[in-house]
Structures are given as structure tokens and as C-alpha cells.
């Protein structure tokens, strides 16, 4: 069964350092999402791509976060510099290009657990 | 502004009985609702969904009910099994695919 791949699974860094997370969506999925989940809360969207274009980055803290999906396939999310409050699970999800109900279902990767010390 | 609310942080149910998880929403524009299940150290897994044009959707042991007038949906699991122990998230969206999640309910099935 096809899966969304994310790496690394865990990342420990010191504040003010740079970190990067990678995501490879399910093959053929046009839409890719990055979510952040803080312990005890539900995932919140950071950025959404349609192919290589950003559709929604209204909740992305652009002074320190950046995201790219250069060839419309895999994606990288970067934080520089990391702050203590960035400690969270970073989840990547993808959804197919098809219209209708199937388009609304998002498939998630296992996530990257970030701890900022 | 929490547009999707799961007011029960936790729920314990005896194995074999029915588990009922509840979710309320405030945004009347939402037209699609999903339930995700999450085990520790894993990403959320899609479980079942319902469109706003329906009031019930069933898939095996899982049934989702939607009451649009009350802006309420519920997930029924029957019979509950130990492997159902997980955190369940309700999510909703309209049109543009961005999902708004609730805070989750931790379901524990007692053998």
C-alpha cells in the first residue's frame, strides 16, 4: 500500500539552529500539506501545495519557516532559527488530483517529532 | 476560535460494547467531515467520512452520523475491540481541502 514518506522520524536540535524535514507524497498525488501538531491539540495547517505552487501559507511563520516543492513531487520544510516553541510533531499529508469526495481525503505520513532544547 | 470541537478528551469503553465519540462544529460552511485515528508515534490514519448531503455513513464496525441542524457529528464503533484504543480526531473542510481538526478524544478499550 502506498504511503507518505517522511524523514527524519525524530530530530533534536538546539534553539537558533536550522532544521529541515523531508516529505515524499503518495505517487501521483497533486496536493501536499504540511501540518504542525502540538501535544494535546489537533494538527494545524502550515502550508498547502498544489503541484509546485503554494495554495495556502497563511499560517506559516514566514520569518523563520520556509517550504518548497520544486518539482511538484517531494517537499522540504525548513525552520531557521529554531525556537523552543517549535517543539511539535510535523506531519505531511497528500491527496489525489481527482475531483469529488476522494479529493478531500488526506493521507498522512508518520511525522517528524522535533524537540528544540 | 476552535471551529471543530471534541469536548471529551478521553473515553473508556468495555470490549464488545459500543464506543460513541462526539464532535461539534461552528462553521456552517463545512460540507465534508472526516474521522482520523492516531496511534502513538504514527501519523493520523483516515477512518471514515461523510458528506453534508448525507446523515449517515457506515463502513463495517464504524458508522458516522451527521446532524447538520445541531452542527454535530458522532462516530460509533460497534463492537469495540482492543485495537481500537487510539486518539480519534474529527476534521472538517469545505471546497478548498484545508482540514480543520478537533483536539482529539483518547479512546481506551478495556478488555
Using the Cβ of B57 and the Cβ atoms of chain A, whether some distance falls under 8 Å is answered with no
Residue that is written with C-alpha cell 520556509 in the block: A66
Using the Cβ of A99 and the Cβ atoms of chain B, whether some distance falls under 8 Å is answered with no
Interchain CB distance below 8 Å, B41 and A110: yes
Interchain CB distance below 8 Å, B98 and A56: yes
pLDDT, mean of residues B100-111: 96
Interchain CB distance below 8 Å, A48 and B98: yes
Chain A / chain B CB contacts < 8 angstroms: 59
Q: Give the whole-number percent of chain B exceeding pLDDT 90.
A: 88
Interchain CB distance below 8 Å, B89 and A110: no
B-proximal residues of A, 27-66, CB under 8 Å: 31, 33, 40-45, 48, 55-56
- CB-nearest to A110 from B42, B49, B102 is B42
All cell numbers assigned to A39: 501535544
pLDDT band at residue A103 under the 50/70/90 scheme: low
Greatest alpha-carbon pair distance for chain B in Å reads 42
Q: Give the whole-number percent of chain A exceeding pLDDT 70.
A: 94
pLDDT band at residue A72 under the 50/70/90 scheme: confident
pLDDT band at residue B4 under the 50/70/90 scheme: very high
pLDDT, mean of residues A97-108: 74
All cell numbers assigned to A17: 539552529
Interchain CB distance below 8 Å, B36 and A108: yes
B90-105 burial string, b = 16+ CB within 10 Å, else e?
bbbbeeebbbbbbbbb
Amino acid at each position: 500500500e502506498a504511503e507518505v514518506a517522511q524523514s527524519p522520524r525524530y530530530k533534536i536540535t538546539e534553539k537558533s539552529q536550522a532544521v529541515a524535514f523531508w516529505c515524499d507524497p503518495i505517487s501521483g498525488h497533486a496536493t501536499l500539506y504540511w501540518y504542525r501538531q502540538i501535544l494535546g491539540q489537533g494538527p494545524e495547517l502550515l502550508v498547502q501545495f498544489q503541484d509546485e505552487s503554494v495554495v495556502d501559507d497563511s499560517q506559516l511563520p514566514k520569518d523563520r519557516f520556509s517550504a518548497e516543492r520544486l518539482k511538484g513531487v517531494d517537499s522540504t520544510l525548513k525552520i531557521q532559527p529554531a525556537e523552543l516553541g517549535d517543539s511539535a510533531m510535523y506531519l505531511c499529508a497528500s491527496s489525489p488530483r481527482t475531483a469529488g469526495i476522494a479529493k478531500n481525503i488526506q493521507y498522512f505520513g508518520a511525522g517528524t517529532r522535533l524537540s528544540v532544547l | 476560535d476552535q471551529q471543530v470541537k471534541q469536548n471529551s478528551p478521553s473515553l473508556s469503553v468495555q470490549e464488545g460494547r459500543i464506543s460513541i465519540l462526539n464532535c461539534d462544529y461552528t462553521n456552517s460552511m463545512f460540507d465534508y467531515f472526516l474521522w482520523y485515528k492516531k496511534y502513538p508515534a504514527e501519523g493520523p490514519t483516515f477512518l471514515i467520512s461523510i458528506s453534508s448531503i448525507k446523515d449517515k455513513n457506515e463502513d463495517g464496525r464504524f458508522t458516522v452520523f451527521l446532524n447538520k441542524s445541531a452542527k454535530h457529528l458522532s462516530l460509533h464503533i460497534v463492537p469495540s475491540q482492543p485495537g481500537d484504543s487510539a486518539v480519534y480526531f474529527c476534521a472538517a473542510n469545505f471546497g478548498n481541502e484545508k482540514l480543520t481538526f478537533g483536539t482529539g478524544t483518547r479512546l481506551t478499550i478495556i478488555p
